[in-house]
Structure 1
């Protein structure tokens, strides 16, 4: 027995016993509403490809053209020789799209949160975080020496109490997801902004699941609520609805300049490949004309959620294209997921510690590209499996 087997094997065996062990699924072909796994086609209900842009002709052409012009890599970190004109252009277009003075691109949304939070907060500061914020926010906070306070999910009375208690800190930063990734509910951003203005605190919103989903042409939660100029830091992703990969912060120019010199993921990671930057630029242009796509996304989401609720399933607090179907324990959740797969539907089970131990769920993500037939087929499978598991009667 190897040392790794002795030290890590027992933990893996425990995960299997609890029903929380899951091997990687290896798909054939690209992201779409139907994908092939082990020679079988499945309706894909777990992809973040909200608008179906991963195979958009304009994005593919932009990537190919960029490879022809620049090659496949950037050759360096941004601060040496890795800032190409296409990176500068992307940041200018992102800032224009988000309505901010500047934007800075990172390698992922996860590293954006880590880089920004770890750079701007010190021991004289306090960060105040919603209890259901994404893991990248939690990890970013852990990298700081700031005091840390948590408020109950979307509880504005508790947030105000924490703000009052934190009067002695140099900087107070309130951090929230725009759309919460596990429950699909929207942050009460207007109330958060009002409280932060009242108590002289900064507002930080992570729009990973709001980018391309909320706001005009998918500009995000700040635009959705008409709060331009009142949200200090907007983090977004270039994956998910945008269809590529990467993350960015939309902010004031002074913060961008500061992060260029302080944010470690930015300083010590090779910059985006030219093809990725070009793809993101093309995606922004598509988003500017995306009214019909976003309307279809929301029509599909509303239809699917209503039908699932009619069957009697618990969909939690969902109000976006993220529609959780609560199953309960990790073991029950994974059994549910496996049964749905037998019916030709792929819906990944999400269990503890990502969600509470008794709140395991299948997280369905509806896209603009799902047909009504695919949604109906998924609903029929949910009914069949839900009845077998006594989740509905």
Structure 2
């Protein structure tokens, strides 16, 4: 008699538990007395009354859902308004909203590559970009993180007619910056498209929070495409692709994650549009994020980061998990990143800054970290927060 097809799960779970890698859902309650430095609400807009009202107004006008895919009934005038304003704010000719940043990455990479093309992908790219590469059916060459020379060599040696260079602008784990100007120079010289995920750049980096591509003077270039998420600095849900009009039109025709997915709910579109307008009117929020990140980094005893992300590498996954639990027990929620989210031996605490953190809240952060970190910084631990 054959064994049950799911018997292997128990052994898999035991192995993960022994390695300190089991995960669990921990639902949070509204209004709980915990200071959150684990989420990605970089500008503090998720609870801003103007943003909430934007969602409520859209909910009242359009209802709970978009009712269909964007090509059937899922596109509203509100979607078009967000796409126009988001593209203009970030400096691109056009934009296309997806129901998540993950799907935006899957959509743009698969639609602009395919068999007979090459993707040169940064080794530290987000999982959504990695999965996009796997689905693309292109030849994928992974290079070391921020290794521009290796990118150039891969492009120079290719036999494919089309090529794409793929990177995050700001690392989701370490918060470091990609060498976008150098990457673009190499890509342009080799006839390759540069595709950049600005998920952690929008709202934090660049002039008025317009992203790292804008800071590098590359926003709107005819051989550059950006993706953004609406779920981090803009405090809501969804994602978008920004780039040349021809690219946007091609995605409407070919991006499966756009064509076959229900459109982003109007309430999410309304919150994103309201948040974007707050950011445009209050560009100082981007500076406030970086100032808060610097204060958190100082409290953790690491260099000030060039983004909202402060990373404290502790090495062992169980040590990092226990340290995160100790912080939470003291009223401070921090992220705990373990393999496969990070490489083996680099489990860490990930603390994210928020523009609206008060001096009193920063004092709480200092007090908690002063109690927790000395007990976990042993001979095997390394403490880093990459700069630039």
Please, what TM-score do these two structures have when normalized by structure 1?
0.92
Please report how far the alpha carbon of residue 218 of structure 1 lies from its aligned counterpart in structure 2 after TM superposition.
Answer: 1.4
In the aligned structure 2, how far is the partner of 1:343 from the partner of 1:302?
Answer: 22
Please report how far the alpha carbon of residue 351 of structure 1 lies from its aligned counterpart in structure 2 after TM superposition.
Answer: 0.6
**Residues 111-148 of structure 1: per-residue CA shift (max 9 Å, x gap):** 11111111121221100011000000000010011111
Q: Is the 8 A contact 2:314 2:377 kept in 1?
A: no
In the aligned structure 1, how far is the partner of 2:34 from the partner of 2:4?
Answer: 39
State the secondary structure of the residue aligned to 1:364. strand
**Residues 303-340 of structure 1: per-residue CA shift (max 9 Å, x gap):** 2213322xxx5x6x943110011111111111211222
Out of 82, 86, 91, the position equivalent to 2:78 is: 86
Matched, 1:275 2:262: no
State the secondary structure of the residue aligned to 1:143. helix
In the aligned structure 2, how far is the partner of 1:159 from the partner of 1:134?
Answer: 18
In the aligned structure 2, how far is the partner of 1:123 from the partner of 1:71?
Answer: 41
**Residues 167-192 of structure 1: per-residue CA shift (max 9 Å, x gap):** x2111100010100010101110111
Q: Is the 8 A contact 1:333 1:362 kept in 2?
A: yes
Q: Is the 8 A contact 1:327 1:336 kept in 2?
A: no
Matched, 1:145 2:137: yes
* Residues matched between the structures, number: 377
**Structure 1: segments with no counterpart, 5+ residues:** 30-34
State the partner residue of 1:61.
53
Out of 296, 301, 319, the position equivalent to 2:306 is: 319
Please report how far the alpha carbon of residue 390 of structure 1 lies from its aligned counterpart in structure 2 after TM superposition.
Answer: 3.7
Q: Is the 8 A contact 1:46 1:365 kept in 2?
A: yes
State the partner residue of 1:32.
none
Taking a change above 3 Å as real, the CA distance of residues 4 and 333 of structure 1, as seen in their structure-2 partners, is farther
State the partner residue of 2:224.
232
In the aligned structure 1, how far is the partner of 2:238 from the partner of 2:306?
Answer: 26
Q: Is the 8 A contact 2:123 2:143 kept in 1?
A: yes
Q: What are the within-5 Å matches in structure 2 for residues 260-271 of structure 1? A: 260-271=252-263
**Residues 213-251 of structure 1: per-residue CA shift (max 9 Å, x gap):** 111221111111222333521100011001110000001
Out of 62, 65, 71, the position equivalent to 1:70 is: 62
Out of 289, 292, 302, the position equivalent to 1:297 is: 289
State the secondary structure of the residue aligned to 2:195. strand
State the partner residue of 1:328.
315
State the secondary structure of the residue aligned to 2:322. helix
Please report how far the alpha carbon of residue 4 of structure 1 lies from its aligned counterpart in structure 2 after TM superposition.
Answer: 6.6
Please, what TM-score do these two structures have when normalized by structure 2?
0.93
State the partner residue of 1:215.
206
